[in-house]
Structure 1
Amino acid sequence: MDLTVEFVDATRPEPPAGWDAFVASAAVHPVWHWPVVHATAGRRRGAALAAMLRDGPAVTGLVYARLAGPARTLADVSCPGSSSMPGLVLPGGLPSVLDPAGVGGPGRALLAAAVAAFEAAVRRERRRVRAVAYRSVFAGELPTVAGRFSLVGRGLPVTMFYNEYPSYERYLAGLSGSRRASQRRQVRLVEREPGLDSSFGPLAGGVDVARFNALADATSRRHETRRWPRARRLSHPQRAALARVPGVLAARYARTGGELVGLGINFDHPSVPLAGPWGALDPHEGGPRGLWFDQHARILRWAIESGRAGVIGGKGLVELKCELGYEQVPQWLVLRRLP
């Protein structure tokens, strides 16, 4: 398979021809929409690589990489809008272990051709780059991405909810007795909170992005328990872009007067929606209790009742998510030296 690579300038706000069309047509999560790529790259030219893979004139894949290290000699391939997903996306958009419905998956031949084409183009056009790091490589793709001279390191697991339930009540019945009772109690707390408006669905009328960023930053600081490696936190422009892409499903909580006290952004997908950023006012500072549990109840209920095959839950609060029925899915980082 003879793929070609077209590098594009991620600092330009206008999407290159074919980029968003591929995202819309190839079952790719909305975190790949060009405004998110542009917000991730920022304004520093030469700090990132964005590329379209082509099979003839047709776009057949996308790649995003940060240039890191001394003199930007490392291409760090990572998804622009989610640390849970790979930074090289092909038709289907999903690694095999995250694709319980079996509708996605690029196949090993296409993945191998994409890796080879991208690295050949980097060697040819970005001569300073000496190595490529691929993040979020899952078990089914690891033998293809990890070459003979690669370094492979275990990353933090990604949580995955596999939908095997005919109804939300059957899902609840599968939880432990204490977690089932606690989850129902948390949802009732939110329902009965005086002066709280809650909803789940498309983000109609936009969102107070500045407030959301403040809530998300504070929430991230509360939940970050490790010093190394430091967690990658989304920037304010990234969250703003993510809140505006097509396919956003939001669990939204606001006081009657309009003050935003909680917002969870999720990204729809034909098979497996993807959880995005979350922020909520700390209950110790006057925020309602139970919002995090309530938003998981809403996204899981929606996924079950809409017949989705699962939900990709991200890397945070893994133990709590597993109590809610998610499973840990291992993933790796693969470092390949360019000859």
Structure 2
Amino acid sequence: MTLTAAIHDPRADPEPDGWADFTARCKLHAVWDYGLMRLEAWMSRNPAVLGVVRDGDRIAAAATVLICRPRRARYADAPTRRKARLRPRWAEVYTPWLSGYPAVVFDPDLTGEGRRAAVREFERAVLRHVGPGLLGIAYRAVYRDMVSSMTGPLRRTWRNDPTSVLPNEWPNEDGWLAGLSKERRTSIRRYARKIDRDPTLEVREGWGRTDTDPYEVAALINSHRARLGRPRTDPRTEVAGVFLAEFLRRPDVRLLTYRDADGTLLAVNTLLDHPTSTVLQHWAARPPAEGGRHNLYFDCYLRCVRHLVSAGRAELTSGRGLMDVKASLGFRARELHTVAVPRPSVGRR
């Protein structure tokens, strides 16, 4: 096995050869689409690049990497500018809008020492791409069984907040409801009846929707995130309407919207379909003080579980927040780790 690695900047580089085959083989989610990565990178302050490791001509591993700059609020330089290579930067191996999943993907046939060798080649490619200003690499949201592929001398590993996972164990939504506490089960059914009977509330959901203004959706998502508070270490930029314009029209992305009688957008949810691991991705809502409605959140979860069981998917994931609330809905915690690699250890094992 002879491994080589290269970094592809979606803003400037064409899609890597064999990328479509790799994403299909590894069953990657919609956010790994190279065209979507290009839009996201152009609208980002810390643009993501794609690391690709090959065994000959075949892609053996890949990773999305955010190239981050300390204390700089403006957008990144154009990809053709190379004079900043001495400026301090670090690399976050992280998928911006899929935070509960690793940003490193290995071919199913690559195991053990092959994975460790792929990580080593990937890190060397990141160093070549960023230059001598690279401070280090942080692998976020790493599954426990992947940690050993990234550990080594000088490297630190710690456990992150877990992500939430609902295994599909029922033939229908009633089976899911039956497993909840009586109080939670009763309240969800009551909310659903109230929403269905409310003539002032319009609820619409569909795959590949083009009937909603993506900039309106982006504004609600961003205001919701701002209200909850953004962690100081969050490397992501606000969701861009131009990104959602392409993202929401995909046949594997469902948009759920709630509007009041005058058409005001009250809440939105995006659901990413997948052969096994469906993702309850964005949720955003107006607070009641600004005209929002109570308990739309639980109606959204009911609709997502309804798809989970009707489509026969293996699990539904829902990110890393509100774990107590999600536990009351049957979700379990999936362990995640961070592996921090200081500059002297990059590319060395």
Distance in structure 2 (CA, Å) of the matches to 1:184 and 1:106: 46
State the one-letter code of the partner of 1:34: Y
Instruction: State the alpha-carbon separation in 1 of the partners of residues 172 and 313 from structure 2.
Output: 12
Deviates further, 215-224 or 185-194: 215-224
Matching residue of 2:119: 115
SS at match of 1:314: coil
Per-residue CA shift, 1:49-74, capped at 9, x if unaligned? Answer: 32222222122332221223562442
Where does residue 94 of structure 2 map in the other structure?
78
- Following TM superposition, by how much is the alpha carbon of 1:188 offset from its aligned partner in structure 2, in angstroms? 1.6
Task: Give the counterpart letter for 1:113 in structure 2.
Answer: A
Q: Which amino acid aligns with 1:319?
A: D
1:33 matched to 2:33? The reply is yes
Aligned residues of 2:46 and 2:236 also touching (Cα < 8 A):
no
Rounded to whole Å, the distance in 2 between the matches of 1:45 and 1:282 is 28
Q: Residue 28 of structure 1 contacts residue 91 of structure 1 at CA under 8 Å; is this kept in 2?
A: no
**RMSD, aligned CA:** 2.8
Deviates further, 260-269 or 10-19: 10-19
TM-superposed deviation, 1:34? 1.7
Corresponding residue number in structure 2 for 1:189: 194
**Residue 57 (structure 2) aligns with:** 57
Q: Deviations over 1:317-336 (max 9, x none)?
A: 22111111111222111012
Q: Residue 68 of structure 1 aligns to which amino acid in structure 2?
A: C
What amino acid sits opposite 2:94 in the alignment? S
- SS of alignment partner, residue 5 of structure 1: strand
1:297 equivalent among 290, 302, 323: 302
C-alpha contact 1:61 1:90 (8 A) present in aligned 2: yes
- Code of the residue aligned with 1:333 in structure 2: it is T
1:207, 1:243 within 8 Å by CA — same for their partners in 2? no
In the alignment, residue 313 of structure 1 is paired with which amino acid?
A: S
Equivalence map 1:114-263=2 (5 Å): 114-128=118-132, 129-224=134-229, 229=233, 232=236, 234-236=238-240, 237-255=242-260, 258-263=263-268
Letter in 1 for 2:103: G
| Shift, 1:208, TM fit | 1.1
Q: Distance in 2 between matches of 1:211 and 1:314?
A: 23
Taking the aligned partners of 2:276 and 2:59, their CA distance within structure 1 comes to 22
Mapped partners of 2:312, 2:131: distance in 1: 48
**Inter-CA distance 124–241: structure 2 relative to 1 (3 Å threshold):** same
Give, in whole Å, the separation in 2 of the partners of 1:159 and 1:200: 23
Q: Which amino acid aligns with 1:194?
A: P
SS across alignment from 1:273: strand
TM-score scaled to structure 2, two decimals? 0.82
Q: Deviations over 1:23-53 (max 9, x none)?
A: 2443001111123322332268995432222
Q: Within 2, Cα distance between the matches of 1:232 and 1:211? A: 19
* Pair 1:88 & 2:80 matched: no
Q: In the TM superposition, what is the alpha-carbon distance from 1:169 to its structure 2 partner?
A: 0.9
Q: Which region of structure 1 is more displaced relative to structure 2, 186-195 or 200-209?
A: 200-209
* Structure 1 SS opposite 2:97: coil
- Equivalent residues of 1:13, 1:35 under 8 A apart: no
Structure 1 residue matching 2:225: 3-state secondary structure: helix
For the 8 Å contact 1:249–1:266, the answer to whether it is kept is yes
Residue matched to 2:284: 279
Tell me if 1:3 matches 2:3.
yes
C-alpha distance in 1 between matches for 2:281 and 2:39 = 16
The question of whether the paired residues in 1 share the 8 Å contact of 2:92 and 2:140 is answered with yes
Q: Which residue of 2 aligns with 1:100?
A: none
CA distance 1:320–1:88, change in 2 (3 Å) = same
Q: 1:255 touches 1:261 (CA, 8 Å); kept in 2?
A: yes
Change (3 A) 1:292 1:142: same
Letter in 2 for 1:332: H
Q: Is the deviation greater in 248-257 or in 32-41?
A: 248-257
Q: Aligned partner of 2:121: which letter?
A: A
Q: Percent identity?
A: 29
Counterpart of 1:279 in 2: which secondary structure?
A: strand
Distance between the aligned counterparts of 2:237 and 2:45, measured in 1? 21
**So what's the TM-score if we normalise by structure 1?**
0.85
Amino acid at match of 2:97: G
Aligned length, in residue pairs: 326
Summarize the Cα distance change of 1:257–1:13 in structure 2 as closer, same or farther, 3 Å threshold.
Answer: farther
Taking a change above 3 Å as real, the CA distance of residues 205 and 41 of structure 1, as seen in their structure-2 partners, is closer
Tell me if the contact between 2:144 and 2:336 (Cα under 8 Å) persists in the aligned partners.
yes
* Secondary structure class of the residue paired with 1:140: helix
The answer as to whether partners of 1:79 and 1:85 remain within 8 angstroms in 2 is: yes
Shift in alpha-carbon separation, 1:231–1:283, aligned structure 2, 3 A: farther
